[in-house]
Amino acid sequence: MKQLVFATANANKVAEVKMKLGDGYDFLSLTDIGCTEEIPETTGTLEGNALQKARYVKDKYGYDCFAEDSGLEIDALSNRPGVDTAHYSGSRDANANMAKVLNELKGEVQRNARFRAVIALIQGENEALFEGRVDGWIAKEMAGEGGFGYDPIFIPEDHKLTFAQLPQEIKKGISHRSRAVAKLVDHLGGKKLNL
């Protein structure tokens, strides 16, 4: 069976992809391959960071692998926070990060934004990128208890409630991450059928 590493330390993400990928792959996490160090993310773009992480694992550990990077892009802020989404306020505190965004958008009527996720896959010599996005806008204030990160201030298009207010099943169905993962799984599934 082909081995494939998901370059993340997040057990929830591993479980989600494992479920969708089925039994065709021997699916490993960073913990499984003994990679405990922090992998650099220094390129300045989501695409670059995803590739950087996947190449790091391929070069150092020799496994075929994929890595993901995601972030929030706000039109009125020239696509910030972007690659700085996780620590926009200088810390990883979600409330501080959202407060900074709301403050920067004070009085701004153009509040269009999107979450974007990029997955970089390396199999042998081949590299491929898969993008998922969900468009929407930034609410005037935080609302809702569900989800994580910036969910309380992001309203996806075709909805009136934030990701944190919507049932998590709805979020999962339309999220940037699930859309990127669906493209990856399609790609890997196609490969499996061709073996």
The answer to whether residue 136 forms part of the interface with ligand IMP (CB under 6 A) is no
Query: What one-character-per-residue DSSP string does 54-96 give?
Result: HHHHHHHH---EEEEEEEEEEGGGTT-BGGGGGGTTSS--HHH
69 is catalytic: yes
Whose CA is closest to 26, among 10, 12, 5? 5
Selected range binding ligand IMP among 21-29, 102-110, 122-130, 146-154, rule: CB under 6 A:
146-154
- For ligand IMP, give the closer residue by CB, 139 or 147: 147
The answer to whether residue 161 forms part of the interface with ligand IMP (CB under 6 A) is no
> Site residues for ligand IMP, window 48-67 (CB under 6 A)?
none
Q: Report the distance separating Cα 138 and Cα 151, nearest Å.
A: 10
In terms of residues, how long is the chain?
Answer: 195
The answer to whether residue 149 forms part of the interface with ligand IMP (CB under 6 A) is yes
The answer to whether residue 162 forms part of the interface with ligand IMP (CB under 6 A) is no
The answer to whether residue 147 forms part of the interface with ligand IMP (CB under 6 A) is yes
Helix (H, G, I), strand (E, B) or coil at 52: helix
Interaction pattern, residues 78-117, with ligand IMP; x per rule: CB under 6 A: -------xx----------------------------x--
The answer to whether residue 150 forms part of the interface with ligand IMP (CB under 6 A) is yes
Estimate to the nearest angstrom the gap between the alpha carbon of 14 and the chain centroid.
12
DSSP class of residue 40 equals: P
Residues annotated catalytic, as ranges: 69
